[in-house]
Structure 1
């Protein structure tokens, strides 16, 4: 079946989440006087982010609760038992992270090409709806007026087939005629395939080894997409 629709992941596909988080973390840690062991802190921060954000995606905790769990685990020697104190401490990082928000250089052109090809276009992302929409607005990507489908509003997160099917139904495209473009082999590629969609893996920095992506269409830039 010909491609009639495309779903883009947001974080680390259109939006440079890892870059913004890294820059934000460095600025925040410097402000706390903890920049002397930056690399060790950074690896631990991203490991905690992955673990607790997936708990949120599974519905085990709220978005605010996963933030509190992350900051408490990251700063175990600090007195963060009080929720308000934990929230205030996390807010320090959050301000630095948001100051570093940016879309990838190839993101706007990718949306423009897909829309210009007459495709139904949507953003399917695991995250909090309001936050993901704000990222689109702050980076200028919202000007393309594409729908954002975030897991918090769907009741299901990628790789759950329900997330893909909801987005396709709302866009009016059959899953077999839709393609998911994202950076996660598990969430975007395998999830899309299980839901009956095609898929393209965006692997900007060579994260995956060849044997891991055998049979997967892999690109290094969104400029490689053609419709």
Structure 2
């Protein structure tokens, strides 16, 4: 089947979110003298993020509440909301100053410019807009869907249906491109959509490896 549009994830697909996160965690360790190695702290932060981001996706807490819950888990002690907000500032500074696109992103963006493209992310709308502006990718992607402006989160079929409608292409002719095995790839498989799994641990897992599928 001909691929007529792309529905593309952002974090750890176009942008190296793991890199930015690691710098954010390093800033937390330096500011608060926490008893972790950087690798151990990053692993703990990853586990806490998975736990509390799911709560945010389900609407059980706000973006700020899940942020503070992660911090309390890393610190292993209670913090008031004001204490948590202040303690989180080094992370925010380290994280935001290290947003960057992967080395293959520019070439991928150029090579797929002839196709309708919609960004589909479970990240918070304001933060994702800031990332795109910071990295200059906002000029290439007129459409960005998140739970805040769509009302649905991946892997819910509805967010992909809205994305396909924005692209003006039938759902089954849209390729999902992303790194998440459940939110991106699992959703595409359930919906019978073509997909490409970005996994840079594999030699053939970068963005450019999907280009032959689009020819």
Report the counterpart of residue 204 of structure 1 in structure 2: 200
Instruction: Report which structure shows greater RCO (CA 8 Å, sep ≥6).
Output: 2
Distance 1:24 1:113, change over 3 A: same
Query: 1:125: how far off?
Result: 0.6
Contact in 1 for aligned 2:118/2:141 (Cα 8 Å): no
User: How do residues 1-227 of structure 1 correspond to structure 2 at under 5 angstroms?
Assistant: 1-34=1-34, 37-77=37-77, 79-80=78-79, 82-115=80-113, 118-206=114-202, 219-226=204-211, 227=214
Which stretch shifts more, 33-42 or 191-200?
Answer: 33-42
CA deviations 1:114-153 (Å, max 9, x no partner) are 11xx211111111111110111110111121431111222
Alpha-carbon distance between aligned partners in 1 of 2:36 and 2:145, rounded to the nearest angstrom: 40
Query: 1:91: how far off?
Result: 2.1
Distance 1:124 1:36, change over 3 A: closer
In the superposition, the TM-score normalised over structure 1's length comes to: 0.87
Question: What residue ranges of structure 2 are gaps of 5+ in the alignment?
Answer: none
CA deviations 1:61-87 (Å, max 9, x no partner) are 11111111111122123x51x212211
Moved over 4 A (4+): none
Query: 1:109: how far off?
Result: 1.7
Question: What residue ranges of structure 1 are gaps of 5+ in the alignment?
Answer: 207-217
- CA-atom RMSD, angstroms? 1.7
Which stretch shifts more, 194-203 or 120-129?
Answer: 194-203
Alpha-carbon distance between aligned partners in 2 of 1:50 and 1:162, rounded to the nearest angstrom: 22
Report the counterpart of residue 211 of structure 1 in structure 2: none
Count of matched residue pairs: 212
Query: 1:156: how far off?
Result: 1.2
Query: 1:50: how far off?
Result: 1.2
In the superposition, the TM-score normalised over structure 2's length comes to: 0.92
Contact in 2 for aligned 1:13/1:202 (Cα 8 Å): yes
Contact in 2 for aligned 1:200/1:219 (Cα 8 Å): no
Which stretch shifts more, 145-154 or 165-174?
Answer: 145-154
Query: 1:36: how far off?
Result: 5.2
